[in-house]
Structure 1
């Protein structure tokens, strides 16, 4: 029974680690998205930092990426930046890849 318990604990630890990694990558991706959108809106460095943090916080509203996409679309539109939903989703995909790369680099 001990081997079975050890295996269960190992699987739980792996799941917890995987969830932590996913959370860190998603938070980094959202920060990168915030910086990308801030550049499109012409924000100052201080405003960019605050905006990137706000985008990270926006992701806690609901599960999935739709809350972040809605925030970016609304803010960019309010700033008179012409952008499509497809462009935002493409940036989301690009920033996901970049966040993963940065995470892997930081682990080495």
Structure 2
């Protein structure tokens, strides 16, 4: 294997690792968001955990965060929880930072 091939392989492995890490962080953020939203919706215990799983699953509908945002906003509107899209996006950003910190302490880099 040439040096070029080794570098190419290393870059491919790093890209794969980064994408896996990004997936884990986004999934964790969505779970945390689901638990946060569940509390505002009046869910607790198993019901809150189930709702958090629904939020995580909603991320697989389309690329990006729009599907998660859309689901949680619709659920808030259905239960008359008064939260703006801006506030929800801000919460998502805050939870993304929390999720990244949690994942990075769990994963040995």
TM-score, scaled relative to structure 1: 0.96
> What is the deviation of 1:69?
0.3
Structure 1 position 85 matched with structure 2 position 72: no
Equivalent positions of 1:28-107 (< 5 A) are: 28-107=28-107
Give distance in 2, aligned partners of 1:43 and 1:20: 31
> What is the deviation of 1:2?
1.0
> What is the deviation of 1:107?
2.7
Q: Secondary structure at the match of 1:82?
A: coil
Deviations along 1:11-65, one digit per CA (max 9) or x if unpaired, are 0000000000000000000000000100001102111000000000000001110
Give distance in 1, aligned partners of 2:59 and 2:84: 20
Supply the RMSD in Å over aligned alpha carbons: 1.0
Which blocks of at least 5 consecutive residues in structure 1 are unaligned? none
Give structure 1 regions of 4+ aligned residues with deviation exceeding 3 angstroms: none
Q: Secondary structure at the match of 1:22?
A: helix
> What is the deviation of 1:79?
1.2
Count of residues paired in the alignment: 108
Give distance in 1, aligned partners of 2:40 and 2:84: 13
TM-score, scaled relative to structure 2: 0.95
